[in-house]
Amino acid sequence: MEGAADRCGWTAPALLEFEEPIGPVTRARKPPIVPRKIPRQARSRDTFEVICAGAARLLEEEGPSSLTTNRVAARAGIGIGSLYEYFPNKEAILVALARRLTEQDRKRVRVALEPSTPATPGERVRSVVHALIAVHGESVRLRRALLEAYLAHGFRDEDALLTSDVIEWIRTSEAAASLVGHLSPARWFVLSRGVLGAVRSAFWERPAILSDPRFEDELVSLALACLEGTTRGG
């Protein structure tokens, strides 16, 4: 006689020692949290941008509790049907905004290391530290809402990968080569994660300190001490 396990293709866990499974396991499907389509034509890109801009303004002015697809559509001046062509729900809007934010952060850090920026070791270090603090200190309410949604919806690994990519780019960039290229992997890890970790911790725990010049000075001193320790044979 055909058993229930044969009929539904489900096998009971051996630990429970059921002779027959009590029924198929059903798992609730998670709602999609990515855009429904990527805009390619100019008109579609304009609509996408209007939606993102409307959502960002709403978040910054009223906080995440105010965000609904209906309110975003109203703020963007489009119909709800047009919004749903691009985003299945508000979570997808938040994740899209968070990804845009992290990409903007990456670009600003890279600009801080462009050859046209200050050339002395101390000035280069300060330029990067200043950029990191600046991106975390602007629009804190909006940034917090976006990053909380981004991390809560399973993108922690993606965030870690993007962070590693930026840090590796800094290490191998032409502008930073003479400054950090000689560091051992262990020392570079401590230096880079120490500075970035302090900035991120300040953002989550004490955002007011990001505007304190002494915080930037301390991070620059920390980085330079680490670099100088290497030149002394550390």
Domain boundaries, the chain: 31-100, 112-148+165-234
pLDDT recorded at residue 122: 85
pLDDT in tens, 169-189: 888 877 777 788 788 889 999
CATH class of 31-100: mainly alpha
Is residue 231 pLDDT above 50, yes or no?
no
Ramachandran angles phi, psi of 19, nearest 5°: -75, -35
For all residues of the chain together, what is the average pLDDT? 80
pLDDT recorded at residue 169: 82
**Mean pLDDT for the stretch of residues 203-217:** 95
Confidence bin at 42 (pLDDT 50/70/90): confident
pLDDT recorded at residue 1: 43
Give the range among 13-27, 127-141, 151-165 with minimum mean pLDDT. Answer: 13-27
